[in-house]
Amino acid sequence: MHKITKMLHERIDIADTHPVVTPIFQNSAFEAHSPYFYTRKDNPNVVELERVMSVLEESEFAVCCSTGMAAIASVLQLLKPGDVLVVNQLIYGCSYKLFQRYCEQFHIDLHFLDLTTEAGILSMPKNVSMVLFESPTNPFVHTLSIQQVATVAKAKNPNALVVVDNTWATPLYQQPMKWGADIALYSATKYFSGHSDVMGGVLTTNNAEIHQKLRDTRFYQGAVMDPNSAWLLRRSMQTFEIRMKAHAETTVIIRDWLEKHPGVTKVYYPNIDGVQLTGYATLLFFDLREDLIDRYPDFIQSLKWFDTGTGMACVTSMVARPFTGSHASMADAEKLQIGLTSQLVRLSIGLENTQDLIDDLSTAFAVIMNH
């Protein structure tokens, strides 16, 4: 036997190793008698993470995708030309853009409505095929009644699908299927990762037919989560609850501090009703006092512990301006229509010492208010 032949076939037998943490299955192919077949279909690390997600969501099924946007795009593929998609008008900027592009290309009738009001919910078209929304919303963290939206949508069309982007509540604080949703979706890049080091998307459902369709879409379009990302996310999930609780505790203290600050005219924090939404962490929005808006660059420059950029829900704090950041892909007129101006600042509260964050914000406000 040539040493190259021997080298090519050299591998350890993992059947009898019993590790306390699942190793990374960094392989694309499995032997013909393996139940895994091919990593684009299934991989042990991805399957393990999907089980973790189903446990947390208390759902029958979970499907992991390469990013949150891939998860949203997979959901859109449940629609066909001529269908009607209703989306709440307050939504992450890239989702907004994706809906516009996708619906135009595939002849889907798209309606952006204000689903935070009863009138908005009732104005859903009769032939609605799918309604999709975030709660709490990005931006402004408004909350929607999942039950009310689902009841009206299904009264108008019993086959209508209700999809909730639950990224900001997480299954720890809100479980959309309990209130009538068919699918919950997540950017796993946010809280599930929590460390700004991995991207992912998760879809959960209790409907076997939807689950199969989402799996087929993932298999054929190839937006699968890679084993390394699944492994990192699975590891992050071990500290998920403890991180969320720490984020939540600091967020409330900073919300109260901002509310009393003279440089701030409004703080946005969701309505935790204790029924649908039982907690909240991290993402805070506030309006800068109007005469300070032009000083925003100095404000962020003065902050020591808040990194700038689009990252959110991670161990380190972040500051951003949605007008030019998360919602940059929307036209200025579209942003103004939903009340999004350059006055709005977004904070993502990390796990730093709370007093350090307050001191940091205090210094940055002092810099822009004393000149």
Sole window of 28-36, 62-70, 111-119, 215-223 interacting with ligand PLP (rule: CB under 6 A):
62-70
Q: Report, in Å, the least distance between residue 199 CB and ligand PLP.
A: 5
- The closest of 278, 279, 277, 259 to 267, measured between CA atoms, is 259
Give yes or no for residue 226 binding ligand PLP (CB under 6 A): no
Task: Give one DSSP letter per residue of 303-314, joined into a string.
Answer: -SSEEESS--SS
Which positions from 71 through 100 interact with ligand PLP, judged by CB under 6 A? 92, 95
Give yes or no for residue 67 binding ligand PLP (CB under 6 A): yes
Residue nearest to ligand PLP (CB): 68
Q: SS3 helix, strand, coil % of the chain, rounded to 5?
A: 40, 15, 45
Q: Which is nearer to ligand PLP, 176 or 201 (CB)?
A: 201
Q: Checking phi first, is residue 5 left (phi over 0); if not, alpha (psi -120 to 50) or beta?
A: alpha
Give yes or no for residue 167 binding ligand PLP (CB under 6 A): yes
Establish how many alpha carbons lie within 13 A of residue 18's alpha carbon, considering only the half-sphere containing its beta carbon.
Answer: 1
Q: Which is nearer to ligand PLP, 269 or 365 (CB)?
A: 269
Sole window of 21-29, 65-73, 120-128, 213-221 interacting with ligand PLP (rule: CB under 6 A):
65-73
Q: Which is nearer to ligand PLP, 83 or 134 (CB)?
A: 134
Q: Report, in Å, the least distance between residue 295 CB and ligand PLP.
A: 26
304 phi/psi in degrees, rounded to 5: -95, -35
Give yes or no for residue 69 binding ligand PLP (CB under 6 A): yes
The sheet with strand 317-320 has its strands ordered as 264-268, 283-288, 344-348, 317-320, 306-308
Among 43, 135, 174, 187, binds ligand PLP (CB under 6 A): 187
Give yes or no for residue 285 binding ligand PLP (CB under 6 A): no
Which positions from 117 through 136 interact with ligand PLP, judged by CB under 6 A? 134
CB-based burial, 55-73: b 16+ in 10 Å, e otherwise: ebbebebbbbbbbbbbbbb
Segment holding 161, helix H or strand E: strand 161-165
Q: Which is nearer to ligand PLP, 160 or 163 (CB)?
A: 163
- Three-class DSSP category at 355: helix
Q: Which is nearer to ligand PLP, 39 or 166 (CB)?
A: 166
Q: Residues interacting with ligand PLP, by CB under 6 A?
A: 67-69, 92, 95, 134, 138, 165, 167, 187, 189, 199, 201
